[in-house]
A and B are shown apart, each in its own frame.
Chain A
């Protein structure tokens, strides 16, 4: 289908790191079933090096929601948390060779899922963090409109 790039279709049809993680150190869930997208991201963290050693995801949503989740997991796997926190939705879009304009919000959800998982890890381990790791309010329209 011409709607999506080959890379999006590849990540949609053959998603990387898909599945659940029973012993996750952090779990982040963003989106809302009513709006049609939910992403749940699991991370495993090496506490000494503060590195994300493993990532898994589950996504309910359209082709691009699944593809952006998959790409986001690839981009943060094996990376220090500090680097994962800099992952932008734009980077996810670029890595996928672009997304249709009406699908950009999927990449925003992917970015937020990563941050939500890291925030959950910080919360569970009493690691302080700043306002920049703000919580998604779960209201889809907010996400759809505020990000590029």
Chain B
């Protein structure tokens, strides 16, 4: 059996999204900036896609800027808010320790340019609080950026409460909602969101398309300079097939949001229950305040990459935050921020489901995984020491 359980990394394009894209390659291929009829037909599709995003985010079409993806949207959001702050002499930014690298590395770049950054600690349940944000606010704070839901552990942050705190203080609020959009209801008005980043390929849209929502009145700074596309704020001929596919996928996801959550939540909980029954296994992040499809656990005494390879050999595609999979010597910064020791973080496994997964697939994972964990523990000297009491169990 083949099970794709890495939907937080990327998803399959839905039939609806693909159907919306196909005409844009050979029929509606005009450049939306062109005056002629083929160009204007493409411009109409672009406008319709923009309206779709505005509608389901509860914003205005003029507040929607298409980008190449979530990372570009994050970069542009942070750069724009930082520049607006600097003009008022405000150069302090608040964020959290477990943001995506698109945020953390942009903040590091801003620090080199003279900004001060406060990264909030992550409580053990993986949910930061509005009180933490409030306590970190300073008179010179120009921006708060907190992710909507964490990409590794799936925990959902109290975005409306944080937004309210920011607005009360007159500080711009950005949320990297890449993992949440299409999976959780989002209302930029009710949630006091000024800037929001999203990425189409996380909800069955195509790769290479993102959106930056920016409340009217917030002047965006260009990251890509050139032509006058996107009201002059993002140069480059619009990716019409991608944008049309993104809008179709977004609408489909939003219309089905409750249905999908109702379908996925019991599958997620079954997986969590089955996996945490394996001795010395811990769930990362709050059990309930998490994305409907996210499961993230640490198995003590084993290492994540070998786990992934053995799962792959059984047809199961998953992800890990071990150093060997992160491309550095350190395991996942998210798990470390959560307080997991290095040796525990190395044994992490993320299974991220979509509505395309079935209960039979969950049963298959639960049948195969315990054997793989036992096998790796049997050959692990760390597990040997843990079992002999020569090394204390950490989980």
Q: How many residues of B are in contact with the other chain, CB < 8 A? A: 26
Separation in Å of the B204 CB from the closest CB of chain A?
25
The size bracket of the interface on A is 20 to 34
C-alpha gap A102/B325 in the complex (Å): 11
Residues of A within 8 A of B (CB): 1, 4, 9, 12-13, 15, 18-20, 29, 33-40, 58-63, 65-66, 102, 140-141, 144
The answer to whether A33 and B379 have CB atoms under 8 Å apart is: no
Separation in Å of the A86 CB from the closest CB of chain B?
25
The answer to whether B329 and A33 have CB atoms under 8 Å apart is: no
Contacts of B346 in A (CB 8 A): 33, 36
Closest A residue by C-beta to B312? A1
Contacts of A13 in B (CB 8 A): 309-310, 313
The answer to whether A60 and B305 have CB atoms under 8 Å apart is: no
The answer to whether B306 and A20 have CB atoms under 8 Å apart is: no
The answer to whether A15 and B379 have CB atoms under 8 Å apart is: yes
C-alpha gap A47/B292 in the complex (Å): 62
- Asked if B52 CB lies within 8 Å of chain A CBs, one says no
Contacts of A141 in B (CB 8 A): 329
Pairs A–B under 8 Å by Cβ, sample size 26: A1-B312, A13-B309, A13-B313, A20-B384, A29-B381, A33-B343, A34-B342, A36-B329, A36-B342, A36-B343, A37-B303, A38-B380, A38-B382, A39-B381, A40-B384, A58-B380, A59-B379, A59-B380, A60-B301, A61-B305, A61-B324, A62-B305, A62-B306, A63-B305, A65-B306, A144-B329
- From the candidates A1, A33, A58, A144, name the one contacting B309 in the complex (CB within 8 A): A1
- Asked if B145 CB lies within 8 Å of chain A CBs, one says no
Interface residues in B294-320 (C-beta closer than 8 Å to A): 301-306, 309-310, 312-313
Contacts of B302 in A (CB 8 A): 60
Given contacts A61-B303, A61-B306, A63-B306, contact A36 B381 (CB under 8 A): no
The answer to whether A40 and B381 have CB atoms under 8 Å apart is: yes
Closest B residue by C-beta to A8? B309
Separation in Å of the B296 CB from the closest CB of chain A?
18
Separation in Å of the B292 CB from the closest CB of chain A?
29
The answer to whether A35 and B329 have CB atoms under 8 Å apart is: yes
Separation in Å of the B114 CB from the closest CB of chain A?
32
The answer to whether A60 and B324 have CB atoms under 8 Å apart is: no
Contacts of B329 in A (CB 8 A): 35-36, 140-141, 144
